[in-house]
Structure 1
Amino acid sequence: MTSVDPSTSPASPSPSPGLLVQAATAEQLRRRPRVVGTPGFVAGFQDGDPNPYLNYATPLPGAEPSADDVAALVHAFRTRELLPRLEFVPAAAPAVAPALLAAGFTVEAEHDFLVCTPDTYAPDRSGPPTHVPGTDEEFAAVDAALSESFGGPGTASPEGVARLRRTCEGGGAVRSVRAADGSCAGGASCTAPALGTAELAGVGTRPAHRRRGVAAAVVSALTADMFARGAASVWLEFSGDDSRRVYERLGYRPLGTRLYLRLAD
């Protein structure tokens, strides 16, 4: 097994967007409440929350895992009664997907990722004002709105509230938009910069408030927040053509693909 660290390798002073996003994903996972390293991979787990989208692994850039390396990774998940799952940029570690597929993993999804830099950023100046939550009640309102946005029950969970607060306390940011009645119409969060780039995720708007500029407003504000904190880029994924058009208007550009793999029972 081999791997490359683009943050220290003299041969890669300016890594490609895909390599940078992959290295930053590994660094972000190292900041999770519980981190497990196996040969060629790093896994980040959330204590007390089995949600597979919050418990996953990623390969180190350039990793070439053996069958034993993949088995060790699967064991790290199985001993915690979690679904083995990975998210990564396949171009940054070309040998990983074949090794995982040979071990029985299947493709869950594949998405383009978009990157924004200060040079491409075009701030949204016509959308609604955004709000920075600070109290548990405000974080709960954002969590409830995001739950409804993604088809959930539309109620806050203690784990979700704690996760949003940790994001802010760890150097990231959360933004929301308030509806006319004072409730939360939608929001999003962004990780703290890692290796100069930050991931913007969880962009959601309650169905009753869609097509009113909520997503553009929070994405624009969070992107500006990260640039103000010294990030050289911000990246995200999109869920459809409508959201892609919103992000591209703000200066996000498609620069690569991310792959999601899982191993069913």
Structure 2
Amino acid sequence: MLNRIETYYDAVPRSSARAEEFGPLTLFVQEGQGWPYYARPALGHEGDVPVAAVEKVRARQRELGVPEAFEWVAETTPGLRAAVEATGLTVHEHPLMVLEGEPLPVPEPEGFTVRLVGADDAALDTAVAAPFAAFDAPVAPGTSARVADRITAGLTRLAAALDATGSAHAAGQHQPVGTVTEVVGVGTVPAARRQGLGLAVTAALVADARAHGTELVFLTASDADVARLYGRLGFRTIATALIAEA
């Protein structure tokens, strides 16, 4: 299962980023506008990662003006953490969770409609903006257009919880590659929290993934409390996702 996830992690950025190889590490560099990517272990690399390799990647990230960030799975590449920390980066741990069997049912929140949002949908802009508001981050110009292009290309599926006016109060995505997909960016605007919107959006994404033949659905929870929430849908923790940043 972890090998399938590693293959997915290597594949999914390549739809909008170029890959630069640094021996045991691969740096993904965003092509055009969009969220900057990160470095991660080269697919198939086994064993330790030298500190010098991490330093070379960080130097390249500084040259490009992108965040000095690394993402990997602790159990798959156990030797990377020591090398990353030796260069002064801070490492954060997050539960890596996989859906077991079919998702457990969750109630649709009262007063909201939870559904998939298309590329030409009137709800697209608010569905794209909701997770940014949830994490108190600005929406970069052109983000809705880029998401619409990815939806049209089949690279992204977007779901949202909409009020009676058609405005999204929570949203999230899954990004299928073959028979594997990751649920990402699920967020609820602060004023609408504690109504089950995020969980309902996740359930809609999972249902969509299953309906399109996806076999493996996974996600990364921000912490143990959020992991328990996803556990109500049938997700279980199988490993630890690590994110390093300056």
Q: In which range does the TM-score fall when normalised by the shorter chain?
A: 0.7 to 0.9
2:17 is the counterpart of 1:33: yes
Cα drift, residue 63 of structure 1: 5.1
2:172 is the counterpart of 1:198: no
Q: Which amino acid aligns with 1:129?
A: V
Aligned mate of 1:158, from 132, 141, 154: 141
Cα drift, residue 145 of structure 1: 1.6
Change in CA separation of 1:210 and 1:111 when aligned onto 2, cut-off 3 Å: same
Does the CA-based 8 Å contact 2:25-2:41 persist in structure 1? Answer: yes
Which residue number corresponds to residue 222 of structure 2?
239
Change in CA separation of 1:68 and 1:185 when aligned onto 2, cut-off 3 Å: same
Cα separation, 2, equivalents of 1:22 and 1:249: 25
Which residue number corresponds to residue 96 of structure 1?
80
Cα separation, 2, equivalents of 1:50 and 1:129: 26
2:198 is the counterpart of 1:215: yes
Aligned-partner SS, 1:129? strand
Residues 103-122 of structure 1, C-alpha deviations (whole Å, 9 max, x = no match): x14224111111114x2422
Cα separation, 2, equivalents of 1:159 and 1:167: 13
Unaligned runs of 5+ in 1: 1-16
Cα drift, residue 257 of structure 1: 0.3
Residues 123-168 of structure 1, C-alpha deviations (whole Å, 9 max, x = no match): 4354443242322753321122222111235xx4334224422442
Aligned-partner SS, 1:93? coil
Change in CA separation of 1:89 and 1:242 when aligned onto 2, cut-off 3 Å: closer
Normalising by structure 1, report the TM-score.
0.79
2:235 is the counterpart of 1:257: no
Which residue number corresponds to residue 132 of structure 2?
147
Cα drift, residue 184 of structure 1: 1.2
Change in CA separation of 1:140 and 1:39 when aligned onto 2, cut-off 3 Å: same
Aligned-partner SS, 2:75? helix
Cα drift, residue 208 of structure 1: 1.9
Q: Which amino acid aligns with 1:197?
A: V
Percent identity (aligned): 26
Unaligned runs of 5+ in 2: none
Change in CA separation of 1:98 and 1:211 when aligned onto 2, cut-off 3 Å: same
Residues 211-262 of structure 1, C-alpha deviations (whole Å, 9 max, x = no match): 2221122111111222222221111122345533331111111111011112
Does the CA-based 8 Å contact 1:176-1:187 persist in structure 2? Answer: yes
Does the CA-based 8 Å contact 2:20-2:27 persist in structure 1? Answer: yes
Cα separation, 2, equivalents of 1:129 and 1:147: 18
Cα separation, 2, equivalents of 1:238 and 1:131: 22
Cα separation, 2, equivalents of 1:261 and 1:152: 19
Q: Which amino acid aligns with 2:200?
A: A
Cα separation, 2, equivalents of 1:216 and 1:199: 15
Aligned-partner SS, 1:198? strand
